Structure formats: C-alpha cells, structure tokens
Amino acid sequence: MKKSIKGSMTALLVLSFLLSVSVGVSAANERILIAAGTAFGVKFHTEGVVIAGIPGGAGPAAAAGLRRGDVITHINGQAITSAAQFADIIKGSGGAELTLEYQSGKLSHTVHLMPILDENGEYRLGVWVKDSAAGIGTITFIDPETMRFVGLGHGICDAESGALIPLAGGTAEEVELSGVTVGEAGAPGELRGSFCGKKLGKLTKNAETGIYGVLLEVPVGLEKERFPVGSQADVKEGKAYIFASVDTDGRAMYEIEISHIEKGGDSRNFLVHVTDERLLGKTGGIVQGMSGSPIIQNGKLIGAVTHVLVNDPAMGYGIFIENMLEAAG
C-alpha cells in the first residue's frame, strides 16, 4: 500500500510571511496558461483585525475566550476596518460593555466584555491586533485572456493558529531580490528582497490553494511562456521542472523529481525533491518565497510548489494545478 504523505513529516508554508469558471478535468486539458515563476510582493489587508498577541495571556479578551489568530469583525455592530479604528473605539468606550463579533477558524462568535484601564489611564481589551501583512512569494500562472493570476499555492494564514486570514483587499507588487538564506535541516531558508514601490495588480481572494488576483500587464519576458494545463491524471512520478526566481539572475528552470502522488486533498498532493545541483547550490533546495513556483512535466503545467519539509530542505510538497483552478469558483 502506498504510504500517505500527509501528516508524516513536518512541512512549512513557503511564503516569506479569480478565475471566473470552475475547471474540471476535460476543461483543464484545453486551457493554455502562462507559467510565471516570478517573485512578487504581497501587501495584504485583512477583513477586520487579526489578534496578533495577548500580553501576559490575560485580560478581558482572553477571559472571553478570544485567542491569537481570531479575527474581530464588528464592535457594537460597527464594522472594523483598521487597527487604528479598533483602538479608538476601545479608548472611547468609557469602560462601557462592548459587543464583539469575531471569527475563529470557520466559526463566528459574539461575546460581551468590559474594557479595563491600563497603567496610562486608557481603556484596553488586552490584545494586540494587526490589519495588514506583507511578504514575498511566487506567481504560479497568469491567464492571458483575463490577466487573472494565482500565486503561492497555499493561503495566507495566521502563523500560530493556522487559520486562513480573511482578505479585505491588497496589491501585488514588484520586488527586487537581494539574496537568499540557504536552507538547512531544521532551519528553512528564505528569499531576501525589498518592495520596489511598483504595483503589479490587485489581490481578490485568499484561499487554501493560493492568493488570487488580477495583473495590470504580463511581466516582461513571460508572454510566450504558455503551457497547456495538465490534469491530475497527467501527473506522474519522475522527472519534472520548476520555474523559480531565487537571485538577481531572475527566473530560471530547475530539475526536480515527483513522488508519492495522492489524488484529491488540499495543497499537499505530491512530494517534490529538488535534484538540480544549481538550485541546491544557491538555496539548499526549497526556501520560503518559492511558494507558488510552477511545475512543468511532459510539456504541461501540472502544479506548483507549496511547502518545504523542515528537516530536509531539498524536499517539499506540491499542489495539482487543477486544485488551484477549481478553488477559484
């Protein structure tokens, strides 16, 4: 019996932090997409505010059952749109009871709690919150007909709870890579770079299978990088290739091996083993920021890199390209 690849090894999402139709097997085989493999910056604005910490593990919010990673969406029926607005409402409450609506994972909750005065005489709930995030990832593909794109191959989640963070909006931006921290066993590496200030497009959806959006234009040099979409049945154990941008030399193709294919599932559908000595020499294997690197096998776009195995940076997981398309709804 084939050994399951899920739950057997510790993996790390390799993010350094809408297609309009549902595509089945037959439709996917007829589709032509641009395989990108270019690094991009993600500036992500949350829907509501995300609890980033609970100082001392105590306070009104903790007592009411809120925890890190929960998303506060409303206070007294008012939609929360920023961390500054959240703080102003609490400070201006005068200590009166507040009704909070929040999401914890896929569940919605309502609680009532009383703010307390801190040492500075200001009312608090005992939480740190954030309303945005930023990181570097890789664009998997672009639909040349609509300019819609998908990247990462996994969703943007809270680091502690693993919950998917609701997206209120955001931008895809150009980044300049400056180097790489080489991955080692127990210490995954990462791409290093900075945002250039140039907007590439907008973000429209954060899903388990990736970050979705619309580009303003096809990045330079990618217009002819078109490949037919491969179905799950097209994915075979053996040699394949990825497109990735890991240094100042830009996008390049590297050899990998695919194994342990499992039909269905989430964003971990098969194992990826980096065999290309050039990539191993540059990065040690898969590093954070390579999430979304498109996988080509037998001339077809069949998937994307999603995770790195913490104890072996030459190994990671891949997702079927069909799953990324179908999740678009």
126: exposed, middle or buried (Cβ count in 10 Å: 0-12, 13-18, 19+): buried
Nearest to 113 by CA among 61, 54, 50, 71: 61
User: 69 vs 292, which has greater pLDDT?
Assistant: 292
Q: Which of 63-77, 200-214, 257-271 has the lowest mean pLDDT?
A: 257-271
Nearest to 280 by CA among 249, 313, 252, 311: 313
Tally of CB atoms within 10 A around 119: 6
Identify the band that residue 11 occupies on the pLDDT scale cut at 50, 70 and 90: low
Record the tokens describing residue 19, joined without a space. Answer: 């297609």
Does 154 qualify as catalytic in the annotation?
A: yes
The residue whose two tokens read 């998303």 is 71
Nearest to 312 by CA among 279, 276, 287: 287
Q: From the candidates 291, 293, 307, 312, which is the catalytic residue?
A: 291
Q: Which of 38-47, 131-140, 161-170, 246-255 has the lowest mean pLDDT?
A: 161-170
What's the number of CA atoms in the CB half-sphere (13 Å) around residue 54? 16
pLDDT at 215 exceeding the cut of 50: yes
What is residue 56's DSSP assignment?
G
Say if CB 143 and CB 149 are below 8 A apart: yes
Q: What is the pLDDT at residue 15?
A: 55
Question: What is the total residue count of the chain?
Answer: 329
Q: From the candidates 154, 260, 273, 307, which is the catalytic residue?
A: 154
pLDDT at 19 exceeding the cut of 50: no
Mean pLDDT, rounded, for 99-104: 94
pLDDT at 313 exceeding the cut of 90: yes
Q: What is the pLDDT at residue 18?
A: 32
Q: DSSP for 211-266?
A: EEEEESSPPTT-TT-EEEBP-GGG--SEEEEEEEE-STT-EEEEEEEEE---SS-S
Q: What is the pTM of this model?
A: 0.84
Identify the band that residue 184 occupies on the pLDDT scale cut at 50, 70 and 90: very high
User: 263 vs 298, which has greater pLDDT?
Assistant: 298
Residue type, 211: I
Identify the band that residue 329 occupies on the pLDDT scale cut at 50, 70 and 90: low
Q: From the candidates 158, 276, 293, 312, which is the catalytic residue?
A: 276
Nearest to 267 by CA among 305, 295, 293: 305
- Round the average pLDDT of the chain to a whole number and report it: 89
Mean pLDDT, rounded, for 138-158: 94
pLDDT at 23 exceeding the cut of 50: no
Record the tokens describing residue 115, joined without a space. Answer: 């703010």
Record the tokens describing residue 34, joined without a space. Answer: 């641009």
What is residue 166's DSSP assignment?
P
pLDDT > 70 fraction of the chain, expressed in percent and rounded = 90
Does 247 qualify as catalytic in the annotation?
A: no
Q: What is the pLDDT at residue 315?
A: 97
Domains and their CATH numbers in the chain:
11-45+132-326 (2.40.10.120), 55-126 (2.30.42.10)
Say if CB 295 and CB 272 are below 8 A apart: yes
Does 276 qualify as catalytic in the annotation?
A: yes
Q: What is the pLDDT at residue 158?
A: 77
Residues 6+ apart with CB under 8 A from 254: 241, 242, 244, 274, 276, 278, 279
Q: What is the pLDDT at residue 263?
A: 80
Q: Are strands 238-245 and 190-207 parallel, antiparallel or unpaired?
A: unpaired
The residue whose two tokens read 């964003």 is 267
Record the tokens describing residue 240, joined without a space. Answer: 């394949």
What Å distances lie between residue 300 and 241, 297, 310, CA to CA? 10, 5, 29
Element (H, E) at 170: strand 167-181
